[in-house]
Amino acid sequence: MSDGQTPKDAPTFDGVTGYTPMPIGGQAVLEGVMMRGKKVWAVAARDEQGEIHVEQHPLKSANSNKKWPKWPIIRGIVTLGQSLVLGTKSLNISAKIAGLEEEVEGKERQSAMTAGMIATSVALGIALAVAIFILLPSFLTQLILGGAAEGRFVWDLLYGALSLIIFLAYVYAISLLPDIKRVFQFHGAEHKVIQVVENAEPLTVESARKYDTLHTRCGTAFLIMVMALAILVFALVPVDGIATVLGITTDTPMYEAVIFIVRIASRLLLLPLVAGLAYEITVKWASKNTHLGIVKLIMWPGLQMQRLTTGEPDDDMLEVAIAATRAVLAAEQGMIEPEQEEAEELNPEDATDNEVEVPSEERDKVLLPHLNPQPVPSGA
């Protein structure tokens, strides 16, 4: 992601002049929103009394001088991994703020997650997604068509159709749950506030209200692109050729089962490549060329899917999204110095020190008169 250039006539930022335009993205969490800049990320959520609390932490990757994580394709895989880790942390923090943590024998459960717990949660999440959206449609396709390598194009086409149907059914089903509906409304609030920043408008509820809940850089659009590219990429895999190289023939015992395993293995191995390609298309290309007709056509399915994964937020939700955005912008412009801690290791003492309560009378304060940011991925 390219760094913005400081404008010659830079406006003031709450008393600070000459700030650099910056990227921002985010995601919805429990009763709140997480916003992410280039150096810090912040979670804002309301507690049981309705007060907004914000926790802000540094991004470990911001201090990295390595070049390979910024290579095309690779940067998409790296960003996806970081998003999964930050998403897990953000959900944990928002649950603590909102008072949704479990109680054991009258004592609040330890809220901070260790690196091992985060890794386990991310691994389980990936495993569940693979099981539902890759293994399940593969098994269904196998039952319908069998595993013969000769008909791989039809096999992959049916696999892609079933994957999409399962994904749509899953999203629709969870959208009916009241708690998920609220998360989707916070998702809409995140998108609205990001568009306020992108259009250099005052960071207020009034500015955010008029924007749509749909956004090109949304994680939902990214997932739809992943599924579309997967159909194309997987169809190009020469399953019969691989079988021949491995010495697998129609005389091989359990031939269809072996071919099926080859198909599954190829999908799992190529999934990071597909994700990297989807990132390059949705984030690095489409978000910068939204005026092009081809971009509107390609991104249309993902934008329509967001009608299920976003909802119209109320003003209270917009205030929360603004609070998280404000924390990121303030920290990245040097007004707040982030604690120098490992982003993957948050303990309860450090988290408490980073927490900022936002008084209700300050929520509509305009902290950003003008801004011209660069694009980064928005939330799912």
Distance CA 6, CA 136 (A): 50
pLDDT of residue 370 exceeding 50: no
Concatenating the DSSP letter of every residue in 241-295 gives: HHHHHTT--TTSTTHHHHHHHHHHHHHHHHHHHHHHHHHIIIIIIGGG-TTSHHH
pLDDT at 335: 53
> Each residue of 203-216: b (16+ CB within 10 Å) or e?
bbbebbeebebbbb
Residues 301-337: pLDDT tens digits? 999 999 999 999 999 999 999 999 888 888 887 654 4
pLDDT at 334: 62
Among 81-85, 251-255, 322-326, the minimum mean pLDDT is found in 251-255
Average pLDDT over residues 82-86: 88
Name the residue among 93, 82, 37, 124 with its Cα closest to residue 336: 37
> Each residue of 335-351: b (16+ CB within 10 Å) or e?
ebebeebebeebeeeeb
Distance CA 371, CA 23 (A): 10
pLDDT at 99: 81
Distance CA 185, CA 188 (A): 5
Residues 43-71: pLDDT tens digits? 999 999 999 999 999 987 655 678 888 89
pLDDT of residue 103 exceeding 50: no
